[in-house]
């Protein structure tokens, strides 16, 4: 008598499957790899005649320097390198300044790259920069985020920029299932300053004079940062409310109990919660003038959706609240001593926020609405199935 298969039979079967094979054949891997290399060459955009400088640290995969230097040498450029003891440095070392001042193109791992006054001055004069926080291992060229079209990342960013109201004041509001309730007040001038950044124009390559871009192009421009005030140290937004992140750098597991970070005009004024995680963050962020340095968002749909290390998730719609304090955290120094960021910094991450700019929903429960913008979908169609490219996330 034939016995009808049971659910347990299906579960026990070694061959039962309803999903395609995960095996990648060598021909496909080769195609993927060269697509990633082409992306990389586009981003670095090395010019013949460049005075090129690497600002590195000892933990960087040396193959990366060799790979980029090989591209440079094919264009007649002989790069130099200045290695600092760590990528965590907060300001430019005096002994490095003469080399940096002569450079026309800089590739850097240093944390201070984005806001050191000398670097800002040199970029205003035309110096081009690529920050490689997310390219510290050459084998990353084999990942989906490496081969995702860099020009398409630009389309996604520009579609997000179009959501900002340009002609009137508005509040950018944040909410989540845990009770996040934060509002940041924007003025037209703040929006104009923020969007003047080349990254908000969707320029993810170092082609233009004065450019500052990331490679890999995953960490997009920030939804809010000091660019709103032209990087003035004393610029502060009107901001009020509590954010309940799901995770933070240096914590092995996501938070199981609610942890709330309360901001008032950029400054952390309180950490809510009774768990050990809350106590650690309280010690890290309260009483040490912890200030919101950046409110970062991801824009590359193929970046691993829930990967928070090293500097916050960069999947579309995932947010990281990057906060800097006046003194290093002992907990972070012990837990992640060789972190690529300094221990005065903390990235608290949320994957399920809803963000509105005035009446416009920018992010809906962690989904970046720009992924369904008609111009983005049309651009994605040039590369393949737009739904697969834009909404088939890497978990």
Close Cβ partners of 271 (under 8 Å, ≥ 6 residues apart): 259, 260, 261, 262, 278, 281, 282, 285, 286
- The CA distance from 223 to 349, in Å, is 14
CB atoms closer than 10 angstroms to residue 267: 16
In a domain, 206, yes or no: no
> Do 129 and 213 touch, CB atoms closer than 8 A?
yes
Give yes or no: residues 137 and 174 share one domain. Answer: no
- The CA distance from 356 to 350, in Å, is 15
Q: Which domain covers residue 376, as residue numbers?
A: 150-201+217-391
- pLDDT of residue 79 exceeding 90, the answer is yes
- The CA distance from 241 to 277, in Å, is 20
Phi-psi region of 150 (alpha: psi -120 to 50; beta: other; left: phi over 0): alpha
Tally of structural domains, the chain: 2
- pLDDT of residue 389 exceeding 90, the answer is yes
What local confidence, expressed as pLDDT, does residue 219 receive?
78
pTM, 2 dp: 0.93
What local confidence, expressed as pLDDT, does residue 387 receive?
97
What local confidence, expressed as pLDDT, does residue 313 receive?
82
C-alpha closest to that of 348 among 269, 265, 276, 284: 284
Q: Which of 142, 160, 183 is the last residue of a domain?
A: 142
- pLDDT of residue 359 exceeding 80, the answer is yes
In a domain, 154, yes or no: yes
Residues 270-320 have pLDDT tens digits of: 999 999 999 999 999 998 999 998 999 999 999 999 999 988 888 999 999
What percent of the chain has pLDDT above 70? 100
3-state DSSP percent of the chain in helix, strand and coil, to 5:
30, 20, 45
Residue 143, SS3 per DSSP: coil
Residues 53-74 have pLDDT tens digits of: 999 999 999 999 999 999 999 9
Residue 33, SS3 per DSSP: helix
Query: How many CA atoms, within 13 angstroms, populate the side-chain half-sphere of residue 332?
Result: 23
Q: How confident is the model at residue 138 (pLDDT cuts 50, 70, 90)?
A: very high
> Do 113 and 189 touch, CB atoms closer than 8 A?
no
CATH number at residue 135: 3.40.50.720
Give yes or no: residues 380 and 360 share one domain. Answer: yes
List the structure tokens of 60. Answer: 């960087």
What local confidence, expressed as pLDDT, does residue 21 receive?
86
């Amino acid at each position: 008598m034939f016995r009808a298969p049971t659910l347990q039979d299906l579960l026990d079967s070694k061959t039962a499957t309803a999903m395609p094979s995960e095996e990648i054949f060598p021909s496909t891997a080769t195609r993927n790899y060269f697509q990633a290399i082409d992306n990389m060459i586009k981003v670095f955009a090395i010019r013949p005649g460049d005075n090129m400088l690497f600002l590195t640290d000892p933990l960087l995969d040396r193959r990366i320097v060799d790979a980029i230097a090989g591209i440079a040498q094919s264009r007649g450029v002989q790069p130099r390198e200045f290695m600092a003891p760590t990528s965590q440095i907060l300001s430019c070392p005096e002994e490095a300044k003469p080399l940096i001042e002569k450079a026309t193109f800089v590739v850097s791992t240093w944390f201070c790259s984005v806001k050191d006054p000398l670097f800002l001055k040199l970029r205003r004069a035309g110096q081009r920069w690529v920050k490689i926080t997310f390219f510290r291992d050459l084998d990353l060229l084999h990942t989906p985020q490496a081969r995702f079209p860099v020009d398409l990342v630009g389309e996604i960013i520009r579609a997000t920029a179009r959501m900002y109201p340009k002609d009137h004041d508005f509040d950018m509001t944040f909410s989540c299932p845990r009770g996040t309730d934060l509002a940041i007040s924007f003025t037209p001038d703040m929006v104009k300053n923020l969007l003047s950044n080349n990254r908000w124009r969707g320029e993810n390559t170092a082609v233009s004079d004065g450019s500052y871009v990331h490679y890999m192009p995953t960490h997009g421009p920030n939804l809010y940062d000091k660019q709103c005030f032209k990087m003035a140290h004393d610029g502060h937004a009107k901001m009020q409310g509590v954010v309940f992140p799901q995770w933070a750098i240096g914590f092995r597991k996501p938070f199981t109990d609610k942890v709330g970070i309360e901001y008032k005009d950029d400054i952390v004024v309180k950490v809510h919660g009774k768990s050990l995680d809350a106590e650690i963050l309280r010690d890290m962020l309260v009483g040490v003038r912890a200030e919101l340095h950046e409110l970062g968002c991801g824009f590359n749909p193929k970046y691993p959706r829930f990967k928070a290390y090293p500097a916050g998730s960069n999947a579309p719609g995932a947010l990281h609240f990057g906060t800097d304090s006046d003194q290093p955290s002992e907990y972070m120094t012990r837990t992640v001593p060789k972190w690529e960021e300094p221990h005065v910094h903390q990235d608290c991450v949320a994957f399920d926020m809803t963000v509105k700019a005035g009446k416009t929903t920018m992010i809906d429960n962690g989904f970046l609405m720009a992924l369904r913008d008609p111009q983005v979908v049309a651009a994605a169609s040039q590369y393949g199935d737009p739904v697969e490219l834009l909404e088939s996330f890497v978990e």
